[in-house]
Chain A
């Protein structure tokens, strides 16, 4: 996730002037705008948060941007019910928490926040943005694993469970298996052998293979009788 953040933010941050130690109102305005647009680098963000914590005017300007933003997005202005300084304290605490967890992800860090930042700030755009970025990163991560997993399932990936099945002396029953239960064509049905997962299309092809594909010297002495006894055709 951190990597995703980095990827997302770093190329844009390179365009920002680094090392702002004093904010005029114009600079402040552009920094706030960059923050809302998600284009503020870490250093500038630190400086901005510092000034938000110390300067009442800056906080007022920030609130103004929020209201303007809400109106531009077509929603009714919903200024935060939190005092601005409480909000800033919350943001700082969360940032600190994030830093700690990014350094040692296996350590569970519990920080008492002065405010319930995420829920109470539901109406605040930056948090939606952060949540949006996080969701996007999560979706991308999942997508990558899905995309990456699909070709594997046709090759070595599928071989794993299948070989395991083959090695099992009990073997497996029809349609039994390697496919997950949520396949659109798969269906769990109760049979004389107990509930089994059935894939009607696969069974149809299996029946056709047996009926027209049994090209074997063993077909006449055994194969035909075997197939007539143990048919897989869902239609018959």
Chain B
């Protein structure tokens, strides 16, 4: 800052500069320059950490960081009063991305991901769950399409860099423009853009949930072949492959009589969990505004289980239940309970 200010100050207030200005009758220009230098000084000081990136550019940068890096670290998740941690390995060879998550708290569990294929090993029960996570392949392509509504509903603000897990990180605050969604504060590693810490912020900036690396080694020697080997080594494990049946809300006889601003329908499916008779599985209708997502679970009303309409909360995830005719709705998402109630009141049967 001192360097930026020194040049105009010298030219204006040095005796030679002043004499020149008077001699050439340019004093109004000189005065303007001096004034603008004085006025712009505090502005420059405030906006110095601002990279000028838009919210879409920030989110894209965070994506690209995890796509192009190999790293390992220890991650801590704090949701409400609960806290969990895990050991993370991440590697990418340009085309495919692999990740290994080994829990350090609760039951031992290993999750290995290759792009959107995920397998979770539970050594205690010798079971393994094989799934495809559609949500992992969706972004950031969506950020580049016109259906990216994020800038319409969220603003972005940067503040001074902070250190997380030994790395200097840009602090990016994503602020909601209405009360229907939460805000986020993200620490993005300065050189790479990697997300090293993230908080979900409720009303008045209260931290509802946070995820952070307590230790992180960038460009770590993580070997993809080892992770592949681990992913394929299911010997001795009982494999479960949950079956998702794609459908549409319309085909299932449901619609929203009123949309909730910013939230677009993303997918709809029924899942047939083992032991549940066909048709008894709930429909899951997923909405997203680009950052927050909401699931509407609709299942047949069961008077024995669905005794009371209620709300619950876990960290940033809220849930609201409501009876809709002969069905039972559970609306759930990382949004305020009021948003879920809007969904619950808007859902109606079309047949």
Contact = CB atoms under 8 A, between A and B. Distances in A.
B319 A206 contact: yes
Interface stretch (B16-24, B219-227, B229-237, B301-309): B301-309
Contact of A221 (B65, B134, B292): B65
Interface string A149-177: 01101110011001001110111111111
A193 B81 CA distance: 8
B203 interface: yes
A229 B136 contact: no
B81 A199 contact: no
Interface in A112-142: none
Interface stretch (B3-11, B42-50, B101-109, B247-255): B101-109
A236 interface: yes
Contacts of A206: 314, 317, 319, 332
A217 B63 contact: yes
A190 B334 CA distance: 26
Contacts of B105: 192
Given A173-B80, A224-B133, A228-B111, A162 B198 contact: no
B239 interface: no
B75 A213 contact: no
Contact of A229 (B101, B139, B288): B101
Given A220-B139, A226-B77, A211 B315 contact: no
Contacts of B310: 153-154, 158, 178-179, 183
Contacts of A209: 284, 293, 295, 297, 317, 332-333
B319 A165 contact: no
Given A224-B99, A224-B113, A224-B133, A213 B308 contact: no
B248 to A, nearest CB: 15
Contacts of B312: 175-179, 199, 202
Contact of A165 (B150, B313, B322): B313
A229 B86 contact: yes
Contacts of A175: 312, 314
Contacts of A72: none
Given A192-B105, A224-B113, A218 B77 contact: no
B313 A222 contact: no
Contact of A153 (B142, B211, B287, B309): B309
B122 to A, nearest CB: 5
A212 B268 CA distance: 10
Given A213-B135, A231-B109, A170 B314 contact: no
A205 interface: yes
B164 interface: no
Given A217-B290, A221-B62, A221-B63, A212 B211 contact: no
B184 A218 contact: yes
Contact of A212 (B120, B269, B291, B305): B269
Nearest to A182: B307
Contact of B195 (A154, A211, A222, A232): A222
A217 B341 CA distance: 24
A205 B139 contact: no
Given A209-B332, A217-B63, A230 B309 contact: no
B129 interface: yes
Interface residues of A, number: 57
Contacts of A150: 308-309
A95 interface: no
A161 to B, nearest CB: 8
Contact of A154 (B297, B309, B313): B309
B77 A201 contact: no
A75 interface: no
B291 A184 contact: no
B81 A226 contact: no
Contact of B292 (A199, A208, A216, A220): A216
A47 B294 CA distance: 70
A12 interface: no
A217 B111 contact: no
Contacts of B63: 217, 220-221
Contacts of B339: none
A77 interface: no
Interface in A182-202: 183-185, 191-193, 199, 201-202
B314 A208 contact: no
A178 to B, nearest CB: 5
Contacts of B138: 215, 219
B293 A171 contact: no
Closest 9 CB pairs of A and B: A154-B309, A171-B80, A215-B288, A213-B295, A228-B101, A229-B86, A230-B77, A228-B111, A209-B295
5 contacts: A159-B338, A175-B314, A216-B292, A218-B184, A236-B129
